[in-house]
Structure 1
């Protein structure tokens, strides 16, 4: 028994019992995007309220916190996407871009923690929320950018050193 024609490669692949989609690709993608937006929005709202127990500056829309988060979203978000593209396509600027994004993240995290410290560090509902949410949830925003920045620093330094050695040999 021959299967129906299908959109998969190779075209002569036998798919017994294949039934074509009854929805168009644009309908499937639209439903997926709408459902994803709803789920992400719901998680964002619920987790934001929950995270605010560890740092009430989010619930109060503290100016310093909103500013740091806004700058992160506006500048570091797109720069991170560009870095992903640069890494995937092997662009020469990928390491300097990763380094810049990491420094921006580390600076933002430092401002986030230092403003809390300078204002008395009294934003958590309890010690549990302070250590689990405020410290624990933000730990990765220090460790991961630090590791990536150190890796990029080494790569950039060795590239500059190799370039310097090439110039010395060619003279």
Structure 2
């Protein structure tokens, strides 16, 4: 379907799919999309710069890899606890939310209208993510900065949880589409590829890399410990 055949304002007075979807209490976004995206990008930049400054103060010689890992988990903490936590708390009234987070969620919902309809999976998944992975992500960021040995096992735990939630999120989206014919995303490719695929894909690719690295570092530590044990026994 072309963009011209799918007007921004549908017959139900909203820009979401399906066009006749009922969204009681819906209020259109007042802020332009570029402004919303710029605000989100500015927030990401603030988290990264603050984490970098903190890490270099606490551990001046921190490696590039550890710094990037700390920045990632601090960003995850903010997104999980505050942004996704916002959705978990306000899920019943999302169509009418007009503050910054509400408008950001409504913009993202053009790629997945389940966020505006109290879909049981998205509400439960986002709530678990906010409550469990949010605080743990902040803890891991600090453990990485302070070079704690507890960082790697917790990194594996949270990264695996992130990947599992993301895989289920993708799988249920496509299952509903193929089995029930449910279409949650607008037809323009930007909403599917940029919003739905790319933005969520970060939580598969990056956690996957972190898991591989943490497993390698854990195995290295065990090999070192075993060699020392053998040497002492000899």
Q: Same fold (TM over 0.5)?
A: yes
Query: 2-side partners of 1:49 and 1:43: how far apart?
Result: 10
Query: 1-side partners of 2:200 and 2:221: how far apart?
Result: 32
Structure 1 unaligned residues grouped into runs of 5+: 1-36
Cα shift at 1:127: 3.9
Query: 1-side partners of 2:108 and 2:126: how far apart?
Result: 14
Cα shift at 1:170: 1.2
Structure 2 unaligned residues grouped into runs of 5+: 1-81, 87-97
Query: Over the residues paired in the alignment, what is the CA RMSD in angstroms?
Result: 1.9
Q: Check conservation: 1:68, 1:111, Cα contact below 8 A.
A: no
User: 2:108 is matched with which residue: 51, 68, 91?
Assistant: 51
| 2:103 is equivalent to residue 103 of structure 1 | no
Equivalent position of 2:212 in the other structure: 150
Query: 1-side partners of 2:223 and 2:118: how far apart?
Result: 47
- The C-alpha deviation readout for 1:88-107, integer Å capped at 9, x for no partner, is 22221111111111001001
State TM-score, norm by structure 1: 0.72
Query: 1-side partners of 2:211 and 2:152: how far apart?
Result: 9
State TM-score, norm by structure 2: 0.54
SS in 2 for 1:143: helix
* Alignment coverage as a number of residue pairs: 133
Q: Check conservation: 1:49, 1:59, Cα contact below 8 A.
A: yes
Equivalent position of 2:148 in the other structure: 91
